[in-house]
Amino acid sequence: MRILVIEDDEKLARLIVNYLQRQHHTVDHTSDGISGTDMILHNIYDVAVIDWMLPHRSGPDICAIARAANIHIGLLLLTARGDIDDRISGLRRGADDYLTKPFDMGELVARIDAIHRRVSGTSSHLLISHNVQMDPRAHTVTVANHEVLLTMTEFALLELFIRHAGQALTRDQILHTVWNDDDDVLNTAVDVYVSYLRRKLHPHAHHYIETVRGIGYRWQA
């Protein structure tokens, strides 16, 4: 899972980042609301863990901006506020859940996992869009009931598209997510692998990958 932590308490942030990394997640961190908003809008994350009180922009404001931009991401607010009205306000601004400080790291991971399951749209491990069915555990793809054999990179690209159906993804977003910020991979690799994927999905599903002129690609919702 790719997770963003927006927390200005450096000691707590290090604890969260280190713990999540030990759980084999890819984790980015920033400490202020403006940069956190920018990272959510211009990168692809599965879940963002956001402190309520941040420099320059509050956690609920970040949630509201992400929802207004239709960003497909799970949002977990961290708050020291015990008042129920405050917590309801955070949920109404777009947060999926909240966790009151101090908290146990195990509970944090459990809540992140639960949010990710909800945001993914199913409690099942299967991903289904149109006539395409993916099983990330078995690493299988069927299209119109025909099995399609994909490489690891092609599989990761298709999974990214389906999980973010309807969202226009830039080439940089795709590159950073599928190739995990590998500096040796050129930006043109995105176009090459999209063409590979379209060819393998033809004739049943290749047209679901739309080219968004000047931006990148989008899987039809």
What CA–CA distances, in Å, run from 203 to 9, 78, 87, 103?
A: 52, 47, 49, 51
Q: What's the CATH architecture for 127-219?
A: Orthogonal Bundle (1.10)
How confident is the model at residue 123, as a pLDDT? 47
Closest CA to 162 of 192, 195, 125: 125
Residue 155: count of CB within 10 angstroms of its CB:
19
Architecture per CATH, 2-119: 3-Layer(aba) Sandwich (3.40)
- CATH 1.10.10.10 residue spans of the chain: 127-219
CATH 3.40.50.2300 range(s) for the chain read: 2-119
Contacts of 18 (CB under 8 A, 6+ apart): none
Q: What predicted TM-score, i.e. pTM, was given to this entire model?
A: 0.71
pLDDT by residue, tens only, the chain of 221 residues = 899 999 999 999 999 999 999 988 889 999 999 999 999 998 889 999 999 999 999 999 999 999 998 888 999 999 887 667 777 777 888 999 999 989 999 999 999 999 988 877 554 568 889 999 998 878 899 999 899 999 999 999 999 999 888 889 999 899 988 987 666 777 789 999 999 999 999 999 999 999 999 999 999 98
